[in-house]
Each structure stands twice: as structure tokens, then as C-alpha cells.
Amino acid sequence: NTPHCLCVVKGVICTLYAMQLKHIVEASVVEVCEKRVEEYVKLQCSGVLDKAKLPSISTWLDHTFSPILYLFPSLPPPASFPRHTSSSWRPSLKWRREGRRIGRRISMHCAKVFASLRADELFDIIIEYPDSKVVVDELRHTLSRSRLHKYLIKQALVIFRKRLLHAGASSADILSQYISTIKVLVELDASGLLLETISTPIKEYLSKRSDAVRCVLKSMLEDQQSELAAAIREEAENARDKQLSAQMNAYRLDVWTPDVIDADSIATAESLFRESFSTTSAPSGGTGSGTGSSSGG
């Protein structure tokens, strides 16, 4: 990243741009940078579940790629492009726009690499929770950028079936893991969609084990594992809140539309009205008739 090397690289880039080979330059640079990002993220983050890594990765990205990416021109260079030999040369803003766009692309790729790596380690993150809470926070941030929720769900279901939902795991271990799973997934997604999707196979598997109910009762009665009861209550409250919210949305007045009234309904209503009117007016007529009959007698 010396100034002389930057000047040489900029000269090469400008020459290729002038030759209408912009797409080749960008594709090559992005490919090399993305591979370097993948290597660095995996080297620095794999297996490290108790320390924040995104700040150091962000600093590394700026330090490593910014001097190169800012060399990209936003427009084809003029034929008389000056050759810079001064060690104090810095690329102008006019020539940085293209580099910034490519830089954002590399930054997004970094977020995807980090999120996919942590998705592969989700089972270990859950085991280490709450010591891994800082990693959970970083995963939530990168998920919001990379939109890799489907990949996280897919990997979680595969890993859970392979490492937890099998005959070799005791019901007590599955329950303990289930508690941590609830906590981690609620941290990752407050809406509860991840929890509902990923925890469903665990609940279905537990329902098929004969000793599951006994383990649940035992865990709820023991003080050291009383968090199971809290987890179950929390999940029940979330389910009730979702149900109430759905009911409220269904009965909102601003979206309510009355049923269409057909001819039969109108005829029925008119018939009931006449019947009701004749019933209420009958006592009055009956009294007058009885009085006249009595006086005639």
C-alpha cells in the first residue's frame, strides 16, 4: 500500500478503463478481495465465541482495501491522464465514487461471510450462552444486513438433528439445550419467527420420548433448573400475545366490512318485524273486544 505502488495500480486501472475493460477490472478486483475477506474472517472468528469481532474486522477492511478501492475512477480517464510520482498524492473525490460502490459490495460480502460462519456455529453458540451473548448480538446485526435468515434456519435444523435429536442424547440434555435455544433465538429475532421455526422439531421430538414429561416435571421442581418453567411460561405468553394480536387485527374497525345483505335476509327481517308488531298490538285489541262483549251481555 505504498504511494508508489498505488500510483502504478491506478495507472493500470485507468489504462484498462480507457480500453473499455471496466467490467473485467471490477470483476477481478472484487473476486480477489472477497476471497481475502473469507480467509480473514474464518481465520479470526472461527471458534471464538466470547469476544466481539466486528469492530476489528471493520478496521481491517478499511486499512486493507480503502487505499486500493479509492483508485477506481467514476468515469473513463482523459487521454492525457497525469502520472503521479509524489509520495503525498491522494486520489480525488471524483475518482473515489466507483471505489466506494465496490467497497460497499465487499463490505456486504463480509457481513454474509460472518453471518454464514456464525450460522454454522449456532449449536456451539447456544451451548456457550450467555458467555456467547456478544456473538449473538453481532450475528443479529449481520443477519439484518445479509438477510441470511433462511440459511440460518436450514443450518440450525440440520445441526440439531445431527447433534441433539437422536437416541444418544438424554431428554434432560435436550431440555437444557431447548432452554438456551429459546434465549438465543429471542435475542436474534424478537418477532419469534426463528424460534417458532427452529424449536418446532425439538418439541416434536420431545413429545415422542416417553421420559420427556417426567424430565420436565423434575426440572421444574428443582431450584437449579427452575429456568425451564420460566422459559415455558415465556413461550406460552408469547403465543398468547400473538393470538391476541391476530384477533385484534381481525376485528379492527378500519378494515371491517359488513356482510352483504341479500333479498332473503331482507324478507326474513320484514316478516319478523310484522310478527313482532302484531304480537305487541294484540293485547290492546283483545281488551277492547272483551269489554264490548261483557257490556252486551
Q: Clarify whether residues 4 and 103 are in a common domain.
A: yes
295 inside domain = no
* Residue pLDDT tens, the chain, 297 long: 556 666 676 677 777 777 777 778 778 888 888 999 999 999 999 999 999 999 999 999 888 887 777 666 654 444 433 444 333 334 444 445 667 778 888 899 999 999 999 999 999 999 999 999 999 999 999 999 999 999 999 999 999 999 999 888 988 888 889 889 989 999 999 888 898 899 999 989 988 888 877 776 676 666 544 566 666 666 667 667 767 776 666 655 455 454 444 455 555 555 655 565 555 555 544 444 444 444 444
> What ranges in 168-253 are assigned the alpha helix state H?
171-188, 193-207, 212-221, 227-250
Q: Clarify whether residues 113 and 172 are in a common domain.
A: no
Of the candidates 225, 247, 269, which is a domain's last residue? 247
Interatomic CA distance for residues 155 and 126, integer angstroms? 14
Q: Name 87's Cβ contacts closer than 8 Å, sequence gap at least 6.
A: 3, 4
215 inside domain = yes
220 inside domain = yes
Cβ count near 104 (within 10 Å): 11
Interatomic CA distance for residues 116 and 142, integer angstroms? 9
Of the candidates 247, 265, 281, which is a domain's last residue? 247
Give residue 48's domain range: 1-74+97-120
User: Cα angle vertex 268, ends 265, 271, to 5°?
Assistant: 150
Q: Clarify whether residues 178 and 104 are in a common domain.
A: no
Q: Give how many domains the chain has, as a whole number.
A: 2
Of the candidates 231, 247, 263, which is a domain's last residue? 247
108 inside domain = yes
137 inside domain = no
